[in-house]
């Protein structure tokens, strides 16, 4: 489906300074939040206990908090509604040892007299397990970026690889800033959302790079900015349609998915918008910063073709017994 004139060349590079200024502002803001406020680690990474309770009718939050405050191990526990007024979650940093071997039964006993309810879920993660999960998550993100670097360097050339990594780091920093700004708990779902954004943005970046590489070979222009404008204009319909359909799914999840996937859908919403913009204005622009030269690249491709033809010619002569 073509929603833009495929023969028209849009001047994306003409707006790059505006987008770059916005990106720098968001990245600096994200770094500021990271060093001043930091992550709000969820139970997955910090360790602790989460108990989900469903009441018949509206949950009496004040009564629940008073009951919990009377128990030493539950002082400071977080009590919040979960999706509706009749369902609540209780989070506290203690492990199962704090309330015995069955924290769900202990909390049920503590909350007696607050109404009719049932325990829906009890999640317990020890501090060591949480620390191991956090280290594994950081390792997963680092390894994925390293493999991306190797893959793109092999498929294109080193400047494309560095440009793609710069784009991915840009997306991750701004997404992390959004996580801190919106007070989203950092847990396994959050990590999955960030890795999904990395994959989505990378896919978009590779498509743009493919078109740039084709443009370098086919276009008569030697100006890199014009080649980028041509390449991005060719992929504009595909990019807009892909982002739009993805955003429809994410927006539906955000508004109707409930509290369970609120953080995941919000991260995806921010990441899709940032990832789409970065493919053009960060990844492509990074090639200009890295002094990618269209003339030299064409000469390099021509040299590779010449060597390939010579190799094929020699192989043919060997097969015919002429060498």
**How confident is residue 177, by pLDDT bands cut at 50, 70 and 90?**
very high
Predicted confidence at residue 2, as pLDDT, reads 61
pLDDT, residue 33, reads: 93
Architecture of the domain whose range is 12-40+130-292: Up-down Bundle (1.20)
- Partners of residue 98 on adjacent β-strands: 100
Dihedral in degrees, nearest 10, Cα atoms 42, 45, 46, 49? 60
- pLDDT for 175 equals 92
Q: Which fold has domain 48-125?
A: Alpha-Beta Plaits (3.30.70)
Q: How confident is the model at residue 30 (pLDDT cuts 50, 70, 90)?
A: very high
pLDDT tens string 262-272:
888 899 999 98
Calculate mean pLDDT across residues 65-87: 79
**Tell me, what's the pLDDT at 235?**
82
Listing DSSP states for 90-133 in one string gives EEES--TTBTBS-HHHHHHHHTTTS-SEEEEEEEEE-HHHHHHH
Mean pLDDT is highest, among 10-19, 171-180, 252-261, 283-292, for 171-180
Say whether pLDDT at 124 is over 80. no
Q: Which of 204, 202, 190, 214 is nearest to 268 (CA)?
A: 190
pLDDT band at 174 (very low <50, low <70, confident <90, very high): very high
Average pLDDT on 83-111 reads 75
Q: What is the mean pLDDT of residues 24-46?
A: 87
pLDDT over 80 at 197, yes or no? yes
> For the segment 203-214, what is each residue's pLDDT rounded down to a tens digit?
888 888 888 888
14 pLDDT exceeds 70?
A: yes
92-96, 218-222, 270-274, 306-310: range with lowest mean pLDDT: 92-96
Q: Is 108 exposed, middle or buried (0-12, 13-18, 19+ CB in 10 A)?
A: middle
Strand, coil or helix: what is 242?
A: helix
Which of 29-33, 138-142, 257-261 has maximum average pLDDT? Answer: 29-33
Residue 301's contacts (CB-CB under 8 Å, 6 or more residues apart) are: 216, 217
Average pLDDT over residues 79-87: 79
- The whole-number pLDDT of residue 130 equals 65
Q: How far apart are CA 228 and CA 213, in angstroms?
A: 9
pLDDT for the residue numbered 129: 66
Helix pair angle (262-278, 188-218), 10° resolution: 20
Rounded Cα–Cα distance for residues 88 and 58 (Å):
10
The residue extents of the domains of the chain are 12-40+130-292, 48-125
**Contact by Cβ (8 Å): 57, 115:** yes
Strands 185-186 and 40-41: parallel
Sorting pLDDT into bands at 50, 70 and 90, what band is 24?
very high
């Amino acid at each position: 489906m073509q929603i833009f004139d495929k023969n028209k060349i849009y001047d994306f590079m003409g707006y790059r300074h505006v987008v770059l200024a916005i990106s720098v502002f968001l990245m600096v803001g994200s770094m500021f939040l990271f060093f001043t406020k930091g992550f709000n680690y969820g139970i997955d990474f910090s360790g602790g206990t989460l108990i989900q309770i469903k009441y018949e009718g509206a949950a009496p939050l004040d009564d629940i908090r008073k009951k919990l405050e009377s128990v030493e191990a539950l002082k400071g526990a977080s009590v919040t509604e979960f999706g509706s007024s009749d369902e609540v979650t209780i989070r506290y940093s203690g492990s199962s040892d704090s309330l015995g071997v069955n924290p769900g039964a202990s909390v049920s006993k503590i909350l007696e007299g607050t109404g009719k309810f049932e325990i829906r879920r009890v999640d317990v993660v020890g501090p060591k397990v949480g620390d191991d999960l956090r280290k594994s998550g950081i390792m997963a993100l680092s390894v994925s970026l390293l493999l991306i670097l190797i893959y793109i360097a092999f498929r294109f050339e080193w400047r494309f690889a560095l440009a793609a990594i710069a784009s991915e780091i840009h997306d991750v920093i701004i997404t992390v800033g959004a996580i801190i700004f919106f007070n989203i708990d950092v847990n396994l779902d959050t990590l999955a959302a960030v890795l999904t954004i990395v994959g989505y943005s990378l896919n978009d970046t590779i498509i743009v790079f493919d078109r740039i590489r084709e443009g370098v070979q086919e276009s008569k222009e030697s100006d890199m900015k014009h080649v980028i404008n041509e390449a991005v204009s060719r992929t504009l319909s595909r990019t807009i349609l892909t982002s739009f359909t993805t955003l429809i799914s994410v927006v539906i999840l955000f508004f109707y998915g409930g509290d369970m996937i609120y953080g995941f859908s919000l991260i995806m919403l921010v990441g899709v918008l940032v990832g789409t913009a970065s493919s053009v204005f960060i990844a492509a622009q990074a090639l200009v910063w890295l002094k990618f030269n269209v003339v030299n690249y064409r000469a390099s491709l021509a040299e590779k073709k010449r060597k390939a033809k010579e190799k094929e010619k020699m192989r043919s002569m060997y097969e015919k017994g002429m060498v």
